[in-house]
Amino acid sequence: MEQAQRIQKLPPYLFARIEKKIEEARERGVDIISLGIGDPDMPTPSHVIAKLKEEAQNPENHRYPTSVGLLSFRQAIAGWYRERYGVELDPRSEVVTLIGSKEGIAHISFCYVDPGDVNLVPDPGYPVYGIGTLLAGGEPYLMPLKEERGYLPDLAAIPSEVARRAKLMFLNYPNNPTGAVVRDKFFHEVVEFAKSYDIIVCHDAAYSEITYDGYRAPSFLATPGAKDVGIEFNSLSKPYNMTGWRLGWACGRADVIEALGRLKSNIDSGVFQAVQYAGIEALTGPQDGLREVCRVYQERRDLVVDGLNSMGWRLSKPLGTFYVWAPVPAGYTSESFAETVLEKAGVIVTPGNGYGRHGEGYFRIALTIDKERIKEAFVRLRRALGQVRFD
Ligand SMILES: *Cc1c(COP(=O)(O)O)cnc(C)c1O
């Protein structure tokens, strides 16, 4: 049986080659240190787990939830936006619960994209923006994120005939994989651009709470006019170490939230209510776990960046996310560098081209591994690579 075209068009899994090498090395008994996986290694705060346990006992929570989510969860989101950003949201019409934000990011294209339509997609970027576009029959137009522009897309470089055909623009700050944060008036420019071309902005704020050195990430929705042009995705996954729980949300422009909620009501039946109650507890309960998480990542970030710089890199420290994005030394491609450090040091880094073709020439390190292992990784990297050159 031939597969549907939408599946045939899905790009092949880019990490397949390196996965195979990892497998082989493990079979040879090599002690692999993975700096590859962007999944928090610390546990969910215990008061959140306690809430889940309690709510799991309640038979009212054993029935189908609504797909848009408990009103009380959406109220907690609205309250969080008011307190955190000074942004007012109507929990009924401007917030929808998601089965992790990935689910909504993948589905939003189905609400707006017909075959032949274009979405503006950052490259390098979280792969789901482009995949969702393709699955809906649309065409991703890649916005290169370049180091010299602080990894912000150049809106003026988007041809106007492309912008006129575009339905959605995906953005993500603090940014995976580059660790970049928004600067200056960028979100204002985005609102102007979206207004003039009638584009819906989808800002992915998954790392809004994972920031360092006193930096506080802004919400796109706090930009004047933003709620007229867009929505924001966020999630419990990264700040509360809840990736396995699958709980996120989208909020902002009401007709977009309604469309996403209507689509979802025909596909899924929402998130287990006990998990939503635990989510309320995470957002409204004590926040010392979150502060500790940021402190731990910041310490690891410093180890990684100082370690790379001592070997010849010249990186500044990212203000957000739990990633370090770095160029490969002279003479390497993303893949050959990842393969070399795996073979010579037993260390896994993610090749940058896995995040899009403008990620070629870079690699990503995730800070989701404890500092003793990071130190050990650098002992090995120094031994394997010595001083590196970039010419
Ligand atoms: C982790 C991540 C997400 C989504 O995570 P969920 O667990 O689905 O909420 C979304 N965007 C980016 C950029 C991420 O790295």
Cα–Cα distance measured from residue 286 to residue 275, given in angstroms and rounded to the nearest whole number: 17
Structure confidence at residue 19 (pLDDT): 77
Q: In what side-by-side order are the strands of the sheet with 350-351? A: 323-327, 362-366, 350-351
Catalogue all structural domains in the chain, each as residue range(s) with its CATH number: 5-43+288-385 (3.90.1150.10), 46-284 (3.40.640.10)
Give the CA count within 13 Å in the CB-facing half-sphere of 154.
9
Per-residue pLDDT, 8 = 81
The pLDDT of residue 339: 92
d(CA 15, CA 355): 10
Helix axes 101-112, 128-135, angle to 10 degrees: 40
Q: Does residue 348 contact residue 314 with C-beta atoms inside 8 Å? A: no
Per-residue pLDDT of the chain (391 residues; tens, 9 = 90+): 999 988 887 776 656 767 787 888 888 888 999 999 889 999 999 999 999 999 999 999 999 999 999 999 999 999 999 999 999 999 999 999 999 999 999 999 999 999 999 999 999 999 999 999 999 999 999 999 999 999 999 999 999 999 999 999 999 999 999 999 998 799 999 999 999 999 999 999 999 999 999 999 999 999 999 999 999 999 999 999 999 999 999 999 999 999 999 999 999 999 999 999 999 999 999 999 999 999 999 999 999 999 999 999 999 999 999 999 999 999 999 999 999 999 999 999 999 999 999 999 999 999 999 999 999 999 999 999 999 999 8
| 176 Cβ inside 6 Å of ligand 1 | yes
pLDDT of residue 107: 98
Q: How far is the CA of 5 from the centre of ligand 1 (A)?
A: 26
pLDDT at 126 (0 to 100)? 95
Q: How far apart are CA 63 and CA 272, in angstroms?
A: 8
Q: Are strands 139-144 and 33-34 parallel, antiparallel or unpaired?
A: unpaired
Query: Residue 15's pLDDT is what?
Result: 66
Q: How far is the CA of 344 from the centre of ligand 1 (A)?
A: 31
Distances, alpha carbon 86 to alpha carbons 217, 248, 250, in Å: 13, 20, 17
pTM here is 0.97
**Is ligand 1 within 6 A of the CB of residue 102?**
yes
**pLDDT value for 23:** 85
Q: Is the CB of 101 under 6 A from ligand 1?
A: yes
* pLDDT at position 28: 87
Give the span between the Cα atoms of 136 and 138, in whole angstroms.
Answer: 6
151 Cβ inside 6 Å of ligand 1:
no
Substitution candidate for ligand 1 out of 235, 236, 364 with most atoms within 8 A of CB = 235
- 118-123 and 230-235 as β-strands: parallel, antiparallel, unpaired? unpaired
How far separated are the first and last CA of the chain, in Å rounded?
Answer: 50
Ligand 1 geometric centre to CA of 65 (Å)? 23
- Residue in this structure with the two tokens 């274009």, named with its chain if needed: 118
| Tokens coding 339 | 């393969």
Question: If you compute the radius of gyration of the chain from its CA atoms, what whole number of angstroms results?
Answer: 21
